[in-house]
Amino acid sequence: MLLDKEERRSNKIRTTLGKPHGVCDDIGRPSKAESGNARNGLRNKRQAGKEESMRIKALSDVVGAAVTGVDLSTPLDAKELSVLKRALTDHLVLCIRGQSLDARAFADASRLFGRPKSFLLRRDRIDGAPEVSIVSNRPPSLEGKLLVQAKYWHTDDSYLAAPATLTLLLAKTLPNDGGDTEFINCHAVLNALQDTLRQRLEGLRAVHKYRSRRNKSWVAIRSAEEEAETPPVVHPLIRTHPESGQKALYINPNRIDHIDGWGEPESDALLDELYEFAFQPQFQYRHRWQAGDLIVWDNRCTMHRANADYDLNQLRVMHRIMLEGEVPV
């Protein structure tokens, strides 16, 4: 018996609807199972690609590692983030290569590591992204006059009761040559101290000030509001990292005024001894910047300084973010 055109169409639809899962659940539309499998397959391929492309390579024997194959303008999954954080704990300083981020995207990316905070000096903040401050050899605080900032060894934010845990620094404009940043591993410094000197440090605390009598580098003038936010604070000379459990020498030659409870002569003598020991090249890594470098370092166990070994007529501009801190113990 011949079927008319309408019946043939109706039977075709019924036949299609009766096909097993994974084939079709409507005319030309994949089933939920098929769609789910396809999405999972695509996700797995992307994940495999990410894992294959991310590379972490030590930059020195003492501190620092380079990370490639990561784009911080796109979301990272939990595994990738775990790998990055583990690498930071192990190497203390990470250089994440090839990043192109505006100020807002930079602030968003920093949240992978913690909560960003607004920088103390209002004049250095970027409009629309107050978590990001400008570090330049034409600093906003000097209205564009020439100055190499942070060229003496220090750790960030120690003049606060809860100093920043991490700092992120993103290269925006680099000189043709030079302008490197150096880092010191303060775990290694403490571990290399003679036992008698290390024992002397146990229980000692140092007074940190925004403007210390011993500071070596230029520090910006604060507003009355900023002064009120930065009274002197006291921190231990040996602090314990909350994640690794390792101890580090916690010093800031640019902010420590004196050892708490000590007179200036004996305090200065001990601090000078510690600084001379800590500044030895064996504890250092010197980073030569490349366009797109984003460096993350741990202030709880490192020191750093900028170098002025370049043509200062050339502009050097960085964007910086510090993450909310914790009280050193």
Gyration radius of the chain over CA positions: 27
Q: Which of 141-155, 214-228, 264-278 has the highest mean pLDDT?
A: 264-278
Residues designated catalytic: 154, 156, 304, 320
pLDDT of the residue at 176: 97
> What pairing do the DSSP bridges indicate for beta strands 93-96 and 65-68?
parallel
Lookup: tokens for 266: 């004996």
25-48 average pLDDT score: 41
Sign of dihedral through CA atoms 287, 293, 296, 299?
positive
Percent of the chain scored above 70 by pLDDT? 84
pLDDT tier for residue 27 given thresholds of 50, 70 and 90: very low
CA pair distance 83, 153, nearest whole angstrom: 29
Q: Where are the domains of the chain?
A: 51-323
The topology under which CATH files domain 51-323 is: Double-stranded beta-helix (3.60.130)
